[in-house]
Amino acid sequence: MKKVTSNNKDTYIETYCAYFQATTASTADHLNMRLVENLPTVTIDDSADNTAMLEQYDGQKVNVTYDRVLSATQQGDGTWKPRAHTVCLPYDLDLDVQTGDNYDRVNVYCPYALKNGEQLAFMPRGHYIQAGEPVIIVVNQGTIHLNAYGVTLSKESKPWDFVNWDNHTQVVGQWHGSYCIVGNDESANMRAYVLQSDGKAKRIRNDNEKYRNAYMLPFRCYATFSEVLQTDVVTVSYADVEPGGGEHEDQIIDFPANDFDADADFSGYDDADTGIEMRTIEADGSSRYFDMNGRYLGTQQPKQRGVYIRDNKKVIIK
């Protein structure tokens, strides 16, 4: 926040952006930010139910802390491998501000068309993302933190339509953002397709015991289609030009990242290894509960809805 003195009065100008962890000290200093004074600070949590918080602060200016990190993958030789993340935030995000002069560090994409019922083509869009817009952010270099300061919180998400590749006036589905954890049955009933680490969108089902406990993570995106597709796996690709663009109308190329964050847990809670080693059973045989950061919560089942660790496995409390 900046203070400007005019006519002997102090005026505070509220600014915001997400912090970009740059590779050079000068850029990092340029993008260093401070909390806006006299505003409440809210925390977004991927492992908890954020509904009450969003209801309480809807339409209000706040400071936001969110520990999710978007990053490219740094390889052994020091070069960077682009990594894609689906994002839907309850506040505006200006990537041009956060990256300074390094605009090519990130790219943003929204869905455009479904081709042959099996390829979902994305198109580039601007770096300014409004609250509730579901997008894919590709980080080409470095790391992005999603903390924001002096932003207006919104509880509403805004789905994007996508069209038939051969008839781009025909809407055939939507690309949604969700602010909460979406359980297996709800995801299956919507016939939701969720992006996985292999760069393909996979349908969540509830008729297969192996995936019976799959769920969607919050503040991510998913696709739904107007008609039932013949496949449970949709390839994510990139449309070089708009459909119907004459001789190039069939030009679909690989998505500009082959490294993706998974937006759903398909392993199932009952057999999922958390990757966190801890003693999860007391001497008397009772279970111990931990949050997803490994903090011990006690032996009683948590009352707040969310994802926890019990007996070294993930469980969902509804």
pLDDT at 203: 87
pLDDT at 225: 94
Read off the pLDDT of residues 88-117 as tens digits, 9 standing for 90 and up.
999 998 887 766 667 788 889 988 899 989
pLDDT at 252: 65
pLDDT at 164: 92
pLDDT at 294: 56
247 φ, ψ to 5°?
-65, -15
pLDDT at 18: 37
- Whole-angstrom distance, CA of residue 270 vs CA of residue 190: 23
Interior CA angle at 173 toward 172 and 176, to 5°?
165
pLDDT at 224: 94
Q: Give the residues across from 289 on adjacent strands.
A: 298, 310
- Whole-angstrom distance, CA of residue 47 vs CA of residue 83: 22
Instruction: Name residues of the chain where pLDDT drops below 70.
Output: 1-35, 98-101, 208-214, 240-253, 262-288, 290-296, 311-314, 318
